[in-house]
Amino acid sequence: MKTADKLKLIKEVGEEIITEEDLITLLESKKNPIAYDGFEPSGQIHIAQGLLRAININKLTKAGVKFKILVADYFAMLNSKLGGDLDKIQTTGKYAIEVWKSCGMDLKNVEFVWASEFYKKNPDYWKTVMQLAMSSTVTRVLRCSQIMGREEGKKSKSSQIMYPLMQAADIIHLEADIAQLGLDQRKVNMLARDIFPKIGKPKPIAIHHHMLLGLQFNQSELEGVDRKIAMKMSKSKPDTAIFMTDTEPVVEKKFRKAHCVDGVIEDNPVLEYAKYIIFELMNEIKIERPEKYGGNLSFKSYEELEKAFSSGKLKSIDLKTGVAAAINKLLEPTREHFSKGSPKKLLEKVQSFEVTR
């Protein structure tokens, strides 16, 4: 694949690339660059962590990138996920890997790295964390505290100092050329780019992907905060997220309640599902409706769908119904995967953790 073709694929993932020039140089000089992402095992996997992550990773691996996913069990413990119970966190990590097996992630080019095991095998890791700490200020590191899911200004724990420094050290010790994370992780990637030269390490290329909107959000809660982060899907608010094993009726119910104003494109999560998930994996969205309301419709591209919605040809109730039906089709392989055997037992355990935490 030519560099231009690789770059085109990667730019479909990267809503922001820092920097594109560095990325081009990397693609021309290294046949199989290494990219990394990480996740905290903390509950059921929603569609942004499941299907959308698989879509993004598959584009990168198609461009020749080798991908490492850090199963950040130690980070989840630092962040008090699942009560800080490492056994529960690791069980949840195994469940997450089963989700990606079920939804088409290119696993032959993906390596899962467990943080707890990785740090034991890399004794110099903690030395790197200390070097990074010595090369930055408390204020600069705390500015990254949002990556822990907490707003700045709240009472800080000491883990909020360790967390960004550990995440930056991961880039070095995973030998990653690319930090491929969501836009909500931008601050820690910029921290890494700022301080790596101080300890003699090359700046990582940052590729930040789009964060899928939550299905519901209160406009009054968005004043004075980072809107993209405040509006993103959150598993802590189940009605804002579609989980990978949600049943068909649950998916339909969540879309019926979704924020979607007739004719309005901006901040429309239903359209986002169509753009970033459905048309990446399907060639068509079908809208079924009675003849008295205009009859059935079919859209072969997102642009066609958006135009019909903005013009009023397609109403929000019909858009929600069509998108929900398409999402249900895409979730069926995962539902089937978790309907029996060890995956079913894993899911049941994770669901029990969420109930009891």
pLDDT of res. 234: 56
- Mean pLDDT, the chain, as a whole number? 89
Q: Which residue has the higher pLDDT, 262 or 235?
A: 262
Give whole-number Cα distances, 146 to 83, 132, 149, 180, 187, in Å: 20, 19, 5, 17, 8
Which amino acid, 230? A
| Nearby residues of 119 by Cβ (< 8 Å), 6 or more positions away | 74, 125, 126
Q: Summarize the confidence of residues 144-155 as an average pLDDT.
A: 55
Q: Which residue has the higher pLDDT, 1 or 102?
A: 102
pLDDT of res. 225: 42
Total Cβ atoms within 10 A of residue 51: 29
**Cis omega before residue 91 (within 30°)?**
no
pLDDT of res. 156: 58
Q: Are 148 and 229 in contact (CB under 8 A)?
A: no
| pLDDT tier at 154, thresholds 50, 70, 90 | low
Q: What is the pTM of this model?
A: 0.89
Express each pLDDT in 265-324 by its tens digit. Answer: 999 999 999 999 999 999 999 998 888 888 899 999 999 999 999 999 999 999 999 999
Q: What is the dihedral of CA 305, 306, 311, 314, to 10 degrees?
A: 40
Which amino acid, 332? E
Closest CA to 95 of 338, 328, 280, 274: 338
Q: Are 235 and 44 in contact (CB under 8 A)?
A: yes
pLDDT of res. 141: 86
- Domains detected in the chain: 3-209 (3.40.50.620), 219-356 (1.10.240.10)
Express each pLDDT in 17-48 by its tens digit. Answer: 999 999 999 999 999 999 999 999 999 999 99
| pLDDT tier at 236, thresholds 50, 70, 90 | low
pLDDT of res. 231: 53
Tell me the DSSP string of 205-234: EEEEEPPPBPS---GGGGTTS-HHHHTB--
